[in-house]
C-alpha cells in the first residue's frame, strides 16, 4: 500500500481490489503447516558415508566374537587333554561360553544392519 501514492492513474480502491483477488481464499482452520527437511546432495553423501563407516565399526565385534569362540574351544581342548574325566562338565561350560560369545557377535551384526537400513 505504500506504493499507492506513486500510482497516480489507479485509485487506492482499485489496488485494494486487485490485492484481495490474489489473496488465498483458504480459511484459517484448513491451513496445515508443512515443513520438509531440505538437504543438499553433498550432505546426503556425507550421511551415507557416515552410515557405512558406522556399520563397518559395528561389525568389528563379529571378529571379536570369532576370536572368543576360538579361545573357548581351544581352552576346552587343553582342559580335556589335561583332565579327561571332567569332559562332561567342561563341555557344558564350553557350550555356554560359545553361546554367549556368538550372541555378542549377532548383536554387533544386528546393530550394523540397523545402522545401514533403519536410520
* Cα(97)–Cα(21) distance, integer angstroms: 77
pTM of the full structure: 0.56
Q: Domains of the chain by range and CATH?
A: 42-119 (1.20.20.10)
Whether residue 61 contacts residue 104, with contact meaning beta carbons closer than 8 Å, is answered with yes
Q: How many CB atoms lie within 10 A of CB 24?
A: 6
Distance CA 111, CA 68 (A): 19
Grid coordinates standing for 111?
546393530
What is the 8-class DSSP label of residue 118?
A: T
Q: What is the pLDDT along the chain (119 residues), one digit of tens a residue?
A: 555 555 555 555 554 544 555 555 555 556 666 666 666 777 888 888 999 999 999 999 888 999 999 999 999 999 999 999 999 999 999 999 999 999 999 999 999 999 999 87
Amino acid at each position: 500500500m505504500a506504493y499507492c501514492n506513486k500510482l497516480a492513474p489507479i485509485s487506492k480502491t482499485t489496488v485494494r481490489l486487485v490485492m484481495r483477488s490474489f489473496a488465498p481464499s483458504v480459511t484459517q482452520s484448513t491451513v496445515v503447516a508443512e515443513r520438509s527437511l531440505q538437504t543438499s546432495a553433498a550432505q546426503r553423501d556425507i550421511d551415507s558415508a557416515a552410515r557405512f563407516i558406522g556399520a563397518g565399526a559395528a561389525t568389528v565385534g563379529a571378529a571379536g566374537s570369532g576370536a572368543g569362540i576360538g579361545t573357548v574351544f581351544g581352552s576346552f581342548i587343553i582342559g580335556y587333554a589335561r583332565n579327561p574325566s571332567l569332559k562332561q562338565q567342561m563341555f557344558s561350560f564350553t557350550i555356554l561360553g560359545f553361546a554367549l560369545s556368538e550372541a555378542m557377535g549377532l548383536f554387533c551384526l544386528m546393530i550394523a544392519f540397523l545402522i545401514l537400513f533403519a536410520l
